[in-house]
Amino acid sequence: MRNRILFLLAFCGLGVSALAQSETQSNFNRFNFTAGGGLGIGRHDVANFVGNSPFAVVGGGMNFSRMFGVDAEYMYYDLNFRPSVMNGPASLADQSGRMQSISLDGIVTVPRHYGKLGAYGIFGIGFYRRSVSVPSRTIQPGTPNQPAWRWWDLSVDIYGNPIPGQTMSSNSKDAGGFNYGGGVTYRLNHLHNSKLYIEYRYHRAYHSDGQTIVWPITVGLRW
């Protein structure tokens, strides 16, 4: 009789333990999604040619626990040149540009929350395509080189001036890179498991004509 009671207590204990574990695992979303946009701060060439730019980002992934997760993100970053660059000596009127990236990121969520406020860190690696275009034009003899022309991958002579006869129209560069950053979230009561977030990121892409560096500041929704 005593053995049966011990067996019953042990069985009940295992059942309670399994239930508690199931409840703990259900306290976080198995999948995560993000959508947002904001203002990107350019650095180096991007700062000199473009300045600050609008961008948008969407992503989705999986959470392994309440603390660790991964996601894949797509970012569209505007690279239209400053008017002073387009209309200045560079003569790039009607220029347009963009950078698109796909990244795989790890997410670490701070386990402690302060009311509705939370925080997280994010880091990852990605693929970056930078594209620029301008109405087709042919480089004439004696044309001096301009810094912004670097993104068109023109061949230059020993003096650094573009070789005549080349055509400037559109050009794309692909590169690998990385990103890191962090954000603060605010939980919304009326939307299940949804949070407003504001995030800072650092992106660096190693294009062959120079590194492309941007600092996107994002406001959006996580769920």
pLDDT in tens, 104-154: 999 999 988 888 899 999 999 999 999 999 999 899 998 888 999 999 999
User: Above 80 in pLDDT, residue 22?
Assistant: no
DSSP 81: P
DSSP 115-176: TTEEEEEEEEEEEEEEEEEEEEEEPPTTPPP-GGGGGGT--B-TTSPBPTT-EEEEEEEEEE
Please enumerate in sequence order all residues whose Cβ is within 8 A of that of 61, keeping only pairs 6 or more positions apart, or say none: 31, 32, 69, 70, 71, 72, 105, 107
25-46 mean pLDDT: 88
Domain architecture of the chain: domains with CATH: 29-222 (2.40.160.20)
Burial 114-148 (b: 16+ CB within 10 A, else e): eeeebebebbbebebebbbbbeeeebeeebebbeb
pLDDT in tens, 167-198: 999 999 999 999 999 999 999 876 667 999 99
Residues in the chain: 223
Give dist(CA 88, CA 83) in Å, integer. 8
Dmax of the chain from CA atoms? 104
What is the three-class DSSP state of 209? coil
Residue 216, classified by CB atoms within 10 Å of its CB into exposed (0-12), middle (13-18) or buried (19+), is: buried
User: Above 80 in pLDDT, residue 215?
Assistant: yes
> What's residue 123's pLDDT?
97
> What's residue 27's pLDDT?
63
